[in-house]
Structure 1
Amino acid sequence: MLSRKTAMILSIALGVAGFVQLTAQTVPESTQANVQKLISVLQSKASRKEKADACRQLGVIGTKDAVAPLAALLGDQELSHMARYALEPIPDPAVDKALRDALGSVQGKPLVGVIGSIGVRKDASAVQSLSRLLNHTEPDVVQAALRALGRIGNEPATKILRNHLRVAAAANQLAAFEALFRVAESMTAKGDMAGATAVYDLVQATRGAPHQVRAGALRGAVLSRGKEGLTLLSETLRSEDPVLFAAAVKTSVQMKDPGVSSLLIAALSSPVADRQIPVVQALGKRGDKDAVPALMPLARKAERPVRIEALRALTEIADPAAVPLLVETLSDSEPLVAQAAVDCLSSFPGGEADRAAIALLRSPDAKMRVSALELLEVRRAPAGLAELTRAAADPEPKVQRGAIRVLGKLGGPSDLPFLIGRFRAATEPEDLTLMSEAFSDLGIRSTDREAYVSSLVELLPVVQPQHQCALIRVFPALGGEKALRAVRVATKDANVDVQRAAVRALASWKSADAAPDLLAVAQNPRDPSDRTLAVRGYTLLAGSPDVTDSQRWGMCREASAVVKTDDEKKMLLSLLGKTLTPDALDMAMQHLDNPATREEAGAAAVLIADAIVAQKPAEVKAAMQKVLGVSQNQRTLDRAKNALAKAK
């Protein structure tokens, strides 16, 4: 059986395909003259494509006059489908007669298509003709006739389908079921619930039906009965048949009757986890708070998979009464169950879970206090900020550090003085790193970035070098002139650690205003490694999309005067590959003779050459010939050959 979702997807796909085809050509105005022109194409010796295009256009503007010419193509193996697509939308009974007449004259795939079109148009007058085709020797024809009868779905068609189901060949049985499902769905749409129930019951009673058919029939049989469907649902929830049991549970989620939850709760009495789990999941999806008392014992004591699903279901239902149980389960001896409780509390709707996490910060168990901090961070619960400052003084280091981390992520400007106090008292490298991260997190969210940076800059002269290093690490994330000025001064600090931290900060700066400072460090480094860091940061800034080719070339020229090592030269060549100017090509070629930078130079040269070949063909030709003579990289060689061909 085709589900409604599948049918909808197919319809959309066909509609999109049709739209794409139609937009590729101009559909003429709907006039008699234009219709006649298209008919003339069909009746001429025009090409297959021309006739197909005419059919496509007649599908939009076709009238009764086009029916006979289109019908003449129904037996054509190449054009039958296009003729049918043109006929189907034409609102004239002549189309139905033409399709019925074609049932006796066309064969093979065209016949299957004609039958399908009759189904699309729901031609009740074709029922008897379709009935005779149920004895056809070709399964495709029989199956198409069954589906068409299902789409027509009137009383005579339904009777034929019911009778045929008893004698259907195995190859055709699925199509018969699909047709009957379509009939039942049509009856349901029209409010004929008794008729739909009878069809579903017939399908359900058919021996040998595939699992998906049995499941679909049960669903329909339950839903079509309305309130009386509870009896059938109850019986099936007690069934030992796994297919029907699973179908009943799935169907229960779609039923709004409050009595359904009682039936599901009763089904939980089964001691088998494989039966309990889907029932628990269904109760969660239904969101019925009456299920909470039944789910809580399972969350406390059952097989592990059942406990986990019960915790998840309680979270879906979102009854605050479940929160204490979830908190209790955080310390469960089963790690997977404890983690499930963490996950559930993290996503539990409402403020009750926030309050529980805050209360948990006062637990005598340090592990629980750490869990509370993790929950507050994930839930982003600002209501816990006051408790976080107390937790930052916790005797357990893990709790202290967790509180600082969460304050950084959730706090506001008013928390900065507290964090500064903790920062000045910190001595361990781990704590200083954590404080840097907290300052960064808090500063990124600050609405007054300049004032925030000023507060940190003012600390630099009054704290120890290791604290200065930690503060300097914060500035690249915050940016701005004040932060950059502080880092610039620190690059000349007498303390080596502070000076190196400042160079690293400059090298990770996000905006181009740090470029002159990086160049200055590269020109006069205290240590060779400082120059490498500065060159790396400088080339990264120069490679920004915001930098124009002319600006980038100027930066390349400045950088070329300070690079010394092969690694630094490779950084420069990477930048040159983004600098699409003739001067950049000349500079890249200067590094082609160095074995250590040859491939990087070749890669940069071919990128530049491809961009400037029209402007400088002679220069590109000479450069590419040289690249072809030294490069061993196949991709570079291919690009060089391509640029050389353009240069000629």
Structure 2
Amino acid sequence: MAPGADIARLRVDGDAAGLYRAVDSDDSATAYGAVALLGDLAAGDAAAVGLLLEIVRRPDVFRIGLRLRAASALGELREPRAVPALLAMLSPPERGTAEDVRRRRAVVGALARIGTPTVVTELIRRAAAGIDSPWVLPHALTRLRAPEAVPALLSALDRLPPGDPPAWVRLVRALGRQGDPRAGAALLGLLGTELPAPVVRREILKALDGLPAACLSGLLDPRAAALLRPDLRDPSPRTGPLAAGLLARSPAGRAELRGALEEAVRGGPGAGLPVTVVTRCLTARGGRPEPCDGDGGRGGGDADLLARLLRDAPAPLVRRHAAAALAAVGGARAVDALTAALGDERITEAVAEIVARLPDPPVDRLLALLTGDGAAARRGAAVALGRLGCAEAAPALLAAVDGVDPAGVRAAVDALGALRYRPAVPYLAVLAADTGEPGTVRARAVRALGLIGAAGALPVVLAAARDPRGVVRARAAQALGAFAVPEAAEALGALAAGDADPDVARAAARALGRIGAPALPVLGGLAARPRPDGGPLMDDVVDALAECPGGAADAVLNRLVTDLPPGPARVRATGALSGRRVPEAVPALAALLLDDREYAGHADALRGLAAIGGEPATGHVLAYCRRFPERLETARGALGLLARRAPAS
């Protein structure tokens, strides 16, 4: 008897009765596998559902493990007819052993997934009566979404032992998911108590942060701001932002945030609050959630305060966050301050990105700055206008290419590339070829030529691919991906195969995928002669082949699955080949299933064979189940696909 293949064939054939008989097998792998496959079949088969119910209802016939597996399947199906039998499984008194707790948690978890009114009532009754240990019911109560569940969750919280932070976290998350004012009040109240671990307090803040304003009226109490004050200054990078967001929901909380910002303006972060605290406040001021008092607290006062911080804060990090918060506040004062901040050498490019995302960006002012005196402001204006796609700026940007400030030239070059401004090609070509220019400037020019994609630029980009500077070659590799011609593919192949810089080699391999069909001969050569140091590179070659359509790419992937040594690249090639659904792939995918060193690729190979279909492919899937009955879980997805492909009986 070959149990793995037998139950696999039964699943493919949709034979619920046969799977039910297999549950009675003396072989544990067969019995448990049959229940799992019966659960898969039950998603569209009423007879299979009935047989799962029979397993759960017959403790005199089926051992507990099989009944728990069936209970889990019925829970996933949300089958209400299973409720009486599942409740009956909870009726024996709890023994308190770890195994008993595990079993009872599985049953109540299935009940909670079903979630009928009867289930809600019974689980709440058990919680109120303290029938089950604290390690059983919380697992199920976290799934309930009924108003009646809130008191039960609160009762369970009262009974939790202080030494079990994971249980606290589960219940706190459950309360947060209820969307109930009672949950908000309870969670806020917990902040004033002694909690078992910092992670629990952070989870309370996360749960509060996810509740709608209607559930957080307690934040309007001025005492709530005092409760959150320590969290605002917590050294953990995850706690402070949550506290700041909650403070921003109420007048007292917003006053707390303003106080933090004013302290920073007066003395700088080093004289009072750390930089991280100030940036948390700014994040909340600019992008806060719905306030509990119906007032966003926005207005000139905020803009003035943030503008002062943007201008005067010593730390560039704080100034960047102030710019982001100002953009969210909006208004004429914010636009004025942001435009002025483009002259800040340390943050001009970050501010430019923010200005470009404004609902009504100040294009005229940016154009004026582009030809003004300040180098930093010119650079920032170039970045912003390029992001905005402002074609009107192209002539001035082209003039800036002849500038003496390398940072300004880089910004102008990037903007011209973003605008795809073809008249700039001759100027960019000269810049890219000028070995007297800094390597970073030349690299940006090469990148811009690739973005523009003019055929006349190809010789310059090909020459850049042979440049002694790695930064220039890397940009050339990226740019060559825009030229779908054999010359570009050959140059990329040379970089991928022989460049001393592995980052350049990988960039070249990725660019080959963008070229498509003209790159296939080159990709085939790279696949046949991998670099000795090219493990990650081969991943990129596989990805590039996956982007190429047609039988030639299929053949190369087929060869890779067959010839590559075990490892990530072979697994990746298996996934790519499996997704192409070509019959020619069957031998290679089947051979991989025989290699136990490549277990990580078995699920992909099985799914690929199932997607191809037909007798040979199906036979290989079933043979795998026969050979490895204990690995039925790996094959379940493939068996389901074969069952869907099978003709209706």
TM range (shorter): 0.5 to 0.7
Cα gap change, 1:563 to 1:369, in 2 (>3 Å): same
1:169-568 map, 5 Å:
173=31, 200-202=56-58, 204-206=59-61, 209=63, 211-216=65-70, 224=81, 230=87, 232-235=89-92, 241-242=100-101, 244-253=103-112, 254=114, 255-257=116-118, 258-265=120-127, 268=130, 274-275=135-136, 277-281=138-142, 288-298=149-159, 301=162, 303-330=164-191, 332=194, 334-353=197-216, 355-356=218-219, 359=222, 362-363=225-226, 366-368=229-231, 374-375=241-242, 378=245, 384=250, 388=254, 391-394=257-260, 397=264, 398=273, 402-410=280-288, 415-421=299-305, 423-424=307-308, 428-430=312-314, 434=318, 437-443=321-327, 446=330, 451=332, 455-456=336-337, 474-479=351-356, 480-485=362-367, 487-488=369-370, 491-493=372-374, 499-500=375-376, 502-507=378-383, 509=385, 510-511=387-388, 512=390, 513-525=392-404, 530=405, 532-544=406-418, 546-547=419-420, 550-554=422-426, 556=428, 559=431, 564-567=436-439, 568=441
Q: Give, in whole Å, the separation in 2 of the partners of 1:220 and 1:145.
A: 23
From the superposition, tell whether residues 235 and 407 of structure 1 become closer, same or farther in structure 2 (CA, over 3 Å): same
- Asked if the contact 2:72–2:106 (Cα under 8 Å) also holds between the matched residues in 1, the reply is yes
Identity %, equivalent residues: 16
Amino acid at match of 2:402: Q
Shift of 1:523: 2.5
Could you say if the C-alpha distance between residues 234 and 607 of structure 1 is closer, same or farther in structure 2, counting changes exceeding 3 Å?
Answer: same
In the alignment, what sits opposite 1:71?
A: none
- Match of 1:235, SS? coil
Cα distance in 1 for residues equivalent to 2:397 and 2:207: 49
Deviation at residue 484 of structure 1 after TM alignment? 0.6
CA shift digits 1:101-129 (9 cap, x unpaired): xxxxxxxxxxxxxxxxxxxxxxxxxxxxx
Per-residue deviation, 1:537: 1.4
The structural deviation recorded for 1:265 is 0.8
Structure 1 residues 416 and 432: alpha-carbon distance in aligned structure 2, compared to 1, 3 A threshold: farther
Q: Distance in 1 between matches of 2:84 and 2:490?
A: 87
1:16-52 residue CA offsets vs partner (Å, 9 max, x unmatched):
xxxxxxxxxxxxxxxxxxxxxxxxxxxxxxxxxxxxx
2 CA distance for matches of 1:174 and 1:443?
59
Displacement after TM superposition at 1:315 (Å): 2.1
Structure 1 residue 392: Cα displacement: 0.9
Change (3 A) 1:566 1:373: closer
Check the 8 A contact 1:476/1:508 in 2, yes or no: yes
**TM superposition shift of 1:340:** 1.4
Aligned mates of 2:54, 2:490 — CA distance in 1: 85
Q: 5+ unaligned residues in a row in structure 2: which ranges? A: 265-272, 289-294, 357-361, 523-649
Unmatched runs of 5 consecutive residues or more in structure 1: 1-136, 494-498
State how far apart, in whole Å, the 2-side matches of 1:144 and 1:605 are.
48
Separation (CA, whole Å) in 1 of partners of 2:316 and 2:417 = 32
After superposition, the Cα gap between the structure-2 partners of 1:279 and 1:602, relative to the gap in structure 1 and judged at 3 Å, is closer
Deviation at 1:387, TM superposition (A): 5.2
Partners of 2:95 and 2:170 lie apart in 1 by 21
Q: In 2, distance between residues paired with 1:144 and 1:560?
A: 62
Q: Secondary structure at the match of 1:205?
A: coil
**In 1, Cα distance between equivalents of 2:222 and 2:251:** 12
- Change over 3 Å in CA distance of 1:540–1:261 after alignment to 2: same
Structure 2 residue matching 1:523: 3-state secondary structure: coil
Q: In structure 2, what residue type is equivalent to 1:367?
A: P
- How far apart are the structure 1 equivalents of 2:8 and 2:490? 69
Aligned CA distance change for structure 1 residues 558 and 268 (closer, same or farther; 3 Å): farther
**1:558-607 deviation line (CA, Å, top 9, x unaligned):** 75698842412233233334454453244456768864489739956993
CA offsets per residue over residues 601-630 of structure 1, 9 Å max, x none? 9956993996467xxx9xx99999x999x9
Residues 235/283 of structure 1: CA separation in 2 closer, same or farther (3 Å cut): farther
Output the CA distance in 2 between the equivalents of 1:435 and 1:256. 54
Rate the CA distance shift 1:299–1:406 in 2: closer, same or farther, 3 A. Answer: farther
Find the aligned partners of 1:169 and 1:622 in 2 and give their Cα distance: 58
Superposed displacement of residue 342, structure 1: 1.4
- Cα separation, 1, equivalents of 2:429 and 2:397: 14
Normalising by structure 2, report the TM-score.
0.54
Return the offset for 1:275.
3.5
- Structure 2 CA distance, aligned partners of 1:186 and 1:600? 56
Letter of the 2:364 counterpart: K
Number of residue pairs aligned between Structure 1 and Structure 2: 471
Q: Higher Cα Rg: structure 1 or 2? A: 1
Shift of 1:291: 0.5
Which deviations, in whole Å up to 9, do the C-alpha atoms of 1:35-86 show, x marking residues without a partner? xxxxxxxxxxxxxxxxxxxxxxxxxxxxxxxxxxxxxxxxxxxxxxxxxxxx
Amino acid in structure 2 at the alignment position of 1:393: G
Q: 1:430 to 1:276 in 2, by over 3 A?
A: farther
Deviation at 1:416, TM superposition (A): 3.7
